[in-house]
A and B are shown apart, each in its own frame.
Chain A
Amino acid sequence: SQQGEEDPQALSIQEGENATMNCSYKTSINNLQWYRQNSGRGLVHLILIRSNEREKHSGRLRVTLDTSKKSSSLLITASRAADTASYFCATSFGTYKYIFGTGTRLKVLA
């Protein structure tokens, strides 16, 4: 079963715009990760945020975590056509087992 659910399921934006996608999960977690998947490169790790952190940045990526609401958001700034992919959150609780969400399919139009 999927622990997390991403919202929206699909998102289409113009190049240069920002893209925001959200992840909600059900149980307490140790950390939350975001992954990107496209047909060319498979699943690639983007960023990790620990349960005691509230915000992290990596290049054009910004991740927030609200453990009281059991939710996280991923912001991609100044999007590019190459950002077109599916984005998944993955949560870990207690062990190194990871549960992936259902994904947000992002399309960036040139």
Chain B
Amino acid sequence: DTGVSQDPRHKITKRGQNVTFRCDPISEHNRLYWYRQTLGQGPEFLTYFQNEAQLEKSRLLSDRFSAERPKGSFSTLEIQRTEQGDSAMYLCASSLVGLRGQNSYEQYFGPGTRLTVT
């Protein structure tokens, strides 16, 4: 396993368009997280999944954002009607939690998808 992968690595879109990002976590990991990071700031929590269930979503996340993890494996993050303020790096991370006491609080991050909205 080569770690967490994200696709695409870069996305340039025009304001008002919809975009979708994909994250493939480490195969045995049951937790998957999405973060957003802007220049000079730390990653900002967006949402996370335990298997296919979305357990929490940031109140900062507008209704234009939606995330899915349909089979408990890969996840997608969709942004509808993009705005220039959505320009950021979108990070995905995964971890292994809760199986027979095997709790790894360590999160493994992907390389991110850099979104530029023009």
Seen from chain A, the residues whose Cβ lies within 8 Å of a Cβ on chain B are: 1-2, 4, 31, 33, 42-45, 48, 88, 90, 92, 95-103
Q: Which of B43, B93, B95, B109 has its CB near the most chain A CB atoms (within 10 A)?
A: B43
Query: Which of B40, B41, B106, B109 lies in contact with A48, CB distance below 8 A?
Result: B106
Contacts of B48 in A (CB 8 A): 96-97
Known: A42-B109, A42-B110, A92-B105. A97 touches B45 (CB 8 A): yes
Interface string of B20-49 (1 = CB under 8 A from A): 000000000001010100001111110010
Which of A1, A45, A99 interacts with B107 by CB under 8 Å? A45
B111 touches A42 (CB 8 A): yes
* Chain B contacts for A45, CB-based, 8 A: 106-108
Enumerate chain B interface residues (CB-CB to A < 8 A).
31, 33, 35, 40-45, 48, 55-56, 60, 91, 93, 95, 97, 105-112
Q: A96 touching B105 by the CB < 8 A rule?
A: yes
Residues of B within 8 A of A99 (CB): 45
Contact yes or no, A103 B108, CB < 8 A: no
Residues of the B chain whose Cβ atoms lie less than 8 Å from the Cβ of A31: 105
Contacts of A1 in B (CB 8 A): 60
| Pairs across A and B, CB under 8 Å, 9 listed | A33-B106, A48-B106, A88-B43, A90-B107, A97-B48, A98-B45, A100-B42, A100-B43, A101-B42
For residue A4, which residues in chain B have a CB less than 8 angstroms away from its CB? 42
Cβ B44 vs Cβ A43 within 8 A: no
Please judge, given known A-B contacts A42-B111, A96-B97, whether A2 and B41 are in contact too, CB under 8 Å.
Answer: yes
